[in-house]
Structure 1
Amino acid sequence: MADDKETAEALIADFQKSIKDAFAVFDHESNNTVDVREIGTIIRSLGCCPSEGELQEMLAEVEEEEPTGYIQLDKFLPMMTRVLLERKYRPQPEDVILRAFEVLDQTKKGYLTQEELTKYLTEEGEPFTQEEMEEMLSAAVDPEKNVILYKDFVTLMTVEDT
């Protein structure tokens, strides 16, 4: 029983160190605060992939009563520790993402054009911004063929589950 408790405490300590380290990267004034606009990047760097709506819920939980535009580490740390312990907002597995691309590739050619992907990601579901599209296309487009070879891209964009 004591081993389980020690293991849990070690896991929490590891999570909290990771959270503090990620937070510190954006704490430019070293005052345990970060710009609220950086929180999504911090959360994603910790292996979580919340939707924009879920991210807004997380922000609402850690923002001050009167929003200041900054998030305090002492509010962020317990919320993020809980999220990591509960394994919330985990990225989708590679096979699920691949199936999604295959559904979009209606002619089964093994790739999508930039125009097709842009249409799907800016007009359906939770739309990508122009900046997000440009960033994604810069990583996704095969420079030789000028299309998205989605099997290669899915492998590139997924991470091993820890």
Structure 2
Amino acid sequence: MTSPPPPPLLTVSPATAEANLPELTVADFFKSADAFPLYLLILLIFYFVLLHYCRLRFKQKLKPLKKEILESLPKLTLSTESCTTTRSRRCVICLEDYVAGDVVRVLPPCGHMFHVFCIDKWFQLGSTCPSCRIIPVAHIKPNIYHKLLHVLVR
């Protein structure tokens, strides 16, 4: 003997289904409390997209300064007089005072001075001045640049 199938839990005829539900438009749905999970989902998607963008932005590696530009920046040996009259008396990379005989570089656009070893190492990591974040320019004519160096050091 076989048993008969169980009765359905809810029997709804098409005529009664349409009569029980009110007319609901898209605008009404977004105004209702039922739309809150949808708003929450949109907010979470926006948050994760923004988080992903920020992580990619901060992971971008700084590009080192090109060797041609680095070699175009002349070296200068400090004298005893120039150590006392310079604008800055300390290398901001290694935090040591300048002494007579130090070989330094003065960056053309900003005039900041650094030990050659320090700034060359710095430019292997990035291409901006450690003090003001300006990118050194290589297109300054050498004669003008040497005059600028003599004005800054003297």
Higher Cα Rg, which structure:
2
Give the TM-score normalised by the residue count of structure 1: 0.23
Give the TM-score normalised by the residue count of structure 2: 0.24
More helix by share: 1
